[in-house]
Copies of this chain bind each other. A is one copy, B any other.
């Protein structure tokens, strides 16, 4: 289809210099690695599907095979696309681009000239990340035709009609890796303006352009949170000088946490508006993994997989929720057992300093192991729930994980505070966790991968030196038909090799989780240990740099994920904020200072006073939530204008269809 377009392409403005793309080798956007042991038929079939026609479920992409050096090496495809294809898909996925007049808007081929104002070329218009996103979209939408019942050569790998075959092949581990390539020049520019010179302000828009909305929003949140932490940190330092500041921190923190989260939501909506993701909804195009019979979409009228939403609800509430709750109870029980074991060891006849540490060490290791299994379980369950969009999938997966991590990370604090009622132990526990765990985290995040990276480079050098075999031009043991091959001296082979051996950046989950746990440590019991905010602030100033370095240098380039907000994390932080009212008031009630200060009050009276304080703070939180609007005024106006314009256009379109009547009226006027 794209072939038939070529002849006249030069007449389209901005396309002139693309003319000779048939002769030149096109740029590599995505690299796909297929296991060396793959069946010949399957390999041939994959290559065919990637290059095949859309009407047969193909991707209409350019696939070039990299020559192999030996039979144990993976088959490596370099995936590219024709320029026309890129433009076509850019319109289809509604890529938001700067427009000659006014705000950025969804790209449309018909308006190409408007998007190419000021002497821009198409290469300026579509960044490398855009092209990678487009190619990924097409790869993920390569689907099985109705006559393809299984992957050729693998009769057990059954296919249903219109199944997305790339995610399926990844799942079955036929495709071992799929990743976009870095743009070293861009990356250098980005890195220079990001983690090197400035103190706080990150180039969020550039990050978004290179790494996509999801990662950019994480860094924006981290920055916002770090800046906001400055206030409690300063107050925490001042608080060290004065005594009896507990009630003040209790009230202050509740208000600060509420304001911080409400204003972040506004800020996040500002980004979402600027990036054109604010209108994303659960009705959007389904994600590749969404299962369902093909049907006409109720919103767009296009044909895509359909599955009733209530089945997802049934699965969520009747199966997943009980399973998660059971897991949480087990994790809670495990925590109790570790406390009991510690008590038991302490009460032994000859308490041994090392023996005392055994229960908590065993507990820590067990939690780590169980967490890994639970992640698999949560991913599996969420996949099985069959959510329509990637955002829904992420939200429900993160919700499950957060619930479980909540038990692992915070319940022991609750136990110490309200069952053991040992405020000093609580304080020391907080201190240890904050300082040590953050230290370990930063080490894990930066130095460990750095070291591993260095080690793997070393070993790579050795292998390259040792086994400099002759490359076999025909792609290995069997001949592949019709697939062009790269020259064996093409620099892209080295780049693909190098980046392929880097670690994969999973998603932002671990980064957010780290902040979430920190947030909990700082604010759940802030009245006990107000200086916590200072440690958190110091950590985060480093964290910004560490995370930025990590994502730029240590990981394979991640695919872009479009998001409109931080998803389940917003609510998770809010729930933590709500709980902090309860815990801070509870600690206030238990704190011996308060009892000394009000010796005339009975226990019941004190409890009632703190209950009233808690209710009052809950009320204040609710009022702030109501009074602060979700979106800044200018975003609301801009959205209203857009919807007004669309409505007018719809009216206009309809009136065009009824021109005859309109004409009659016009003559009357």
Contact = CB atoms under 8 A, between A and B. Distances in A.
Interface of A: 4-5, 7-9, 11-12, 106, 108-114, 279, 281-283, 298-300, 309, 317, 571, 578, 582, 603-604, 607-608, 611, 615, 618, 622, 626-627, 633, 636-637, 640-641, 643-647, 649-655, 658, 661-662, 664-665, 667-669
A309, A646, A653: residue with the most chain B Cβ atoms closer than 10 Å: A646
B607 A662 contact: no
A572 B611 CA distance: 23
A597 to B, nearest CB: 19
Nearest to A659: B110
Nearest to A582: B615
A540 to B, nearest CB: 29
Contact of A112 (B109, B282, B653, B661): B661
Given A113-B658, A283-B640, A646-B649, 16 more contacts: A4-B669, A8-B664, A11-B664, A11-B668, A12-B665, A108-B654, A109-B665, A281-B640, A299-B644, A300-B641, A317-B627, A603-B603, A611-B611, A646-B646, A649-B652, A652-B653
Contacts of A279: 643
Give 5 nearest A-B pairs by CB, closest first: A646-B646, A110-B655, A649-B650, A283-B640, A649-B649
A381 B636 CA distance: 26
A622 B571 CA distance: 11
A604 B607 CA distance: 8
Contact of A658 (B11, B12, B114, B658): B114
Contacts of A647: 646
A301 to B, nearest CB: 8
A645 B665 CA distance: 26
Contacts of A622: 578
Nearest to A660: B113
Nearest to A645: B650
B661 A111 contact: yes
B640 A643 contact: no
Contacts of A108: 651, 654-655
Nearest to A651: B108
Nearest to A111: B658
Nearest to A585: B611
Nearest to A279: B643
Nearest to A607: B607
A618 B603 CA distance: 24
A499 to B, nearest CB: 36
12 contacts: A8-B667, A8-B668, A9-B668, A109-B661, A110-B661, A112-B658, A113-B661, A283-B640, A646-B649, A646-B650, A649-B649, A649-B653
Given A110-B655, A112-B661, A669-B5, A633 B571 contact: no
Residue among A106, A109, A112, A645 facing the most chain B CB atoms (10 A cut-off): A645
Contacts of A298: 637, 641
Contacts of A282: 636
Contacts of A651: 106, 108
A664 B5 CA distance: 11
A627 B396 CA distance: 12
Given A283-B636, A664-B12, A654 B111 contact: yes
B299 A640 contact: yes
Contacts of A110: 654-655, 658, 661-662, 665
A286 B7 CA distance: 56
B637 A299 contact: yes
A4 B113 CA distance: 44
A112 B665 CA distance: 11
Contacts of A668: 5, 7-9, 11-12
A279 B646 CA distance: 14
A633 B665 contact: no
A189 to B, nearest CB: 32
A637 B669 contact: no
A652 B571 CA distance: 39
B12 A661 contact: yes
A600 B608 CA distance: 20
Contacts of A649: 646, 649-650, 652-653
Nearest to A317: B627
A418 to B, nearest CB: 9
A376 to B, nearest CB: 26
Contacts of A633: 309
A582 B109 CA distance: 60
Contacts of A300: 641, 644
A626 B321 CA distance: 14
Nearest to A99: B654
A633 B299 CA distance: 12
Contacts of A578: 622
Contacts of A299: 637, 640-641, 644
A628 to B, nearest CB: 11
A411 B15 CA distance: 75
A665 B113 CA distance: 12
Contacts of A667: 8
A8 B663 CA distance: 12
A571 B626 contact: yes
A654 B113 CA distance: 12
A405 to B, nearest CB: 18
Nearest to A669: B5
